[in-house]
Amino acid sequence: DIQLTQSPSFLSASVGDRVTITCRASQGIGNLLVWYQQRPGKAPNLLIDAASALESGVPSRFSGSGSGTEFTLTISSLQPEDFATYYCQHRHSYPLTFGGGTKVEIK
Amino acid sequence: EVQLVESGGDLVQPGGSLRLSCPVSGFTFSSHWMTWVRQAPGKGLEWVANINPDGAVTWYADSVKGRFTTSRDNAKNSLYLQMNSLRAEDTAVYFCARLRGTRSTFDSWGQGTLVTVSS
């Protein structure tokens, strides 16, 4: 099974900060990585597919990069509505797995 | 507008059974793979099962294999999750979601339904 390790698990930041979240896969998965945002009490929301393809309607301050085993999600200028938990997920093979999540909180 | 609305969550005793439903609207259900994902209280997301458009192909997480069965009724635009031999560790909010094509990218989600396994 492919394990996904996200870091950090918790991040405290201010509005306007640049934020980077890392997701490492236990084996190479090409670009078959997806990012989701989940606000408290809500369902996850798709942000980025195929490591770097921004979903329609997602603000351009979000970007994704990486391939193989190391991936990053970057928020260029954190906005109040971005305070949430972010998850990576691979779609390389079964079983599908998610990273443990990164909670972004207001400093 | 794409809508998925889970129902059927409840308090059930260990060893018991429960069936979740997920009726959908706003898209051609019979053309899409579907999935179940769960989230234990205060924890992260865990993939549970996928099912192909005609229901003939299913995939399960090891943690639920042999106990959970996903199925669908394309005439009723509905997805189901039959959960048997429930354990305390199955306590979670269960989400249904739609896959994008044949890729396991979950592009539309329901709001979730809470299953609590406790005596």
Three-state SS letters, B56-110:
CCEEECCCCCCCEEEEEECCCCEEEEEECCCCHHHCEEEEEEEEECCEEEEEEEC
B107: nearest CB among A46, A94, A101: A46
Q: How far is it, in rounded angstroms, from Cα B33 to Cα A35? A: 19
Q: How many CB pairs under 8 A join A and B?
A: 52
pLDDT at site B101? 86
Per-residue model confidence as pLDDT tens digits over A25-65? 999 999 999 999 999 999 999 999 999 999 999 999 999 99
Say yes or no for a CB contact (<8 Å) between A45 and B110: no
pLDDT at B39 over 90: yes
Q: Please give the average per-residue pLDDT across A94-107, as a whole number.
A: 96
pLDDT at site B77? 98
Pick the closest to residue B96 from B43, B29, B1 (CA basis).
B29
Per-residue model confidence as pLDDT tens digits over B73-85? 999 999 999 999 9
Q: To probe the interface with B, which of A91, A92, A102 has the most B CB atoms within 10 Å?
A: A91
CB distance A49 to B100 below 8 Å:
yes
Say yes or no for a CB contact (<8 Å) between A34 and B61: no
Per-residue model confidence as pLDDT tens digits over A3-27? 999 999 999 999 999 999 999 999 9
A17 touches chain B (CB under 8 A): no
pLDDT classification of B53: cutoffs 50, 70, 90:
very high
Nearest CA to CA, how far is B48 from chain A (Å)? 9
Say yes or no for a CB contact (<8 Å) between A49 and B47: no
pLDDT classification of B34: cutoffs 50, 70, 90:
very high
pLDDT at site A107? 87
Residue type, B78: S
Q: Please give the average per-residue pLDDT across B17-41, as a whole number.
A: 98
Q: Please give the average per-residue pLDDT across B27-31, as a whole number.
A: 97
